Amino acid sequence: MIKENFEPIIGLEIHVELKTKSKMFCGCNADWFGKVPNTLCCPVCLALPGTLPFPNRIAVEWCVMLGLALNCDIPVFSKFDRKNYFYPDLPKGYQISQYDKPFAINGSLETNTNQPINKLTNQQIRKKIRIRRVHMEEDTGKLLHATIDGAKCTLIDFNRSGMPLVEIVTEPDIRSSEEARIFLKKLHQIIRYIGISDADMEKGSMRLEPNISVRKFSRNKNQSPNKLKLPNYKVEVKNINSFNFAKKAIDFELDRHISILEKGEVPAQETRGWDEKKGITYTQRTKEEAHDYRYFPEPDIPPIRWTKPQISKLKAQICELPDKKIKRFIKDYKISEYDATILTDELETADYYENSIKYQVSSKKYKGITPKIIANWIINKKTDITKVTPEKLVNLISQKQQIVQMDDKELEAIIQKVLKANPKAVADFKSGKQQALMFLVGQVMREAKGKAEAEETKRFLSKMLN
Region 190-206 average pLDDT: 95
**Position with higher pLDDT, 370 vs 191:** 191
Residues 329 and 255 placed together within one structural domain of the fold: no
Which residues have a Cβ under 8 Å from the Cβ of 335 and sit 6 or more positions away?
329, 343, 371, 372, 375
Q: What is the pTM of this model?
A: 0.83
Q: Is the pLDDT reported for residue 407 higher than 90? A: no
pLDDT at 384 over 90: no
Q: What are the start-end ranges of the H helices in 96-199?
A: 177-194
447 and 328 in a single domain? The answer is: no
Q: What is the mean pLDDT of the chain?
A: 90
Instruction: Examine the pLDDT at 13 and tell me if it is beyond 80.
Output: yes
Could you tell me if residue 257 is inside a domain?
yes
Q: Are 130 and 145 in contact (CB under 8 A)?
A: no
Tell whether 136 and 156 lie within a shared domain: yes
pLDDT band at 121 (very low <50, low <70, confident <90, very high): low
In a domain, 317, yes or no: no
- Predicted confidence (pLDDT) at residue 403 exceeds the cutoff of 50: no
- What is the secondary structure of 243-304 as a DSSP string? HHHHHHHHHHHHHHHHHHHTTT-----EEEEEETTTTEEEEEEEPPPGGGG--EE-TTS--E
Report pLDDT digits (tens) over 205-232: 999 999 999 998 765 555 555 567 889 9
Residue 1's pLDDT is 59
Rounded to whole angstroms, the Cα distance separating 171 from 103 reads 17
Q: How far, in Å, CA of 89 to CA of 93, rounded? A: 9
Cα 431 from chain centre? 28
Percent of the chain scored above 90 by pLDDT? 70
3-state secondary structure of 347: helix
- Domain of residue 10 covers 6-311
Lowest mean pLDDT, pick from 15-24, 197-206, 282-291, 303-312: 282-291
- What's the pLDDT score for residue 459? 79
Are 332 and 304 contained in the same domain?
Answer: no
1 domain-assigned? no
Task: Give the number of other CB atoms < 10 A from CB of residue 42.
Answer: 15
**Residue 28 resides in a domain:** yes
Percentage of the chain modeled with pLDDT above 70 = 94
- Asked whether the beta carbons of 453 and 405 are under 8 A apart, the reply is yes
Q: How many domains is the chain built from?
A: 3
- pLDDT: which is higher, 272 or 411: 272
Measured N-to-C along each axis, helices 308-316 and 57-69 cross at an angle, to the nearest 10 degrees, of 80
Residue 104, pLDDT > 80, answer yes
Question: Do 244 and 366 fall within a single domain?
Answer: no
Question: Cα separation of 270 and 259, whole Å?
Answer: 17
Within-domain flag for 277: yes
In this structure, the answer to whether residues 214 and 67 fall within a common structural domain is yes
Mean pLDDT of 222-243: 81
Dump pLDDT digits (tens) for 60-97: 999 999 999 999 999 999 999 999 988 899 999 999 99
Q: Are residues 300 and 412 in the same domain?
A: no
Let me know whether 332 and 266 are in one domain. Answer: no
What pLDDT score was predicted for residue 441? 86
- Euclidean distance between the first and final Cα of the chain, in Å? 24
Residue 156, pLDDT above cutoff 60: yes
Residues 300 and 331 in one domain: no
What is the CATH classification number for the domain harbouring 415? 1.10.10.410
Q: Would you state the pLDDT for residue 429?
A: 84
pLDDT value for 118? 59
Task: Tell me what pLDDT residue 223 has.
Answer: 53
Whether residues 38 and 178 fall in one domain = yes
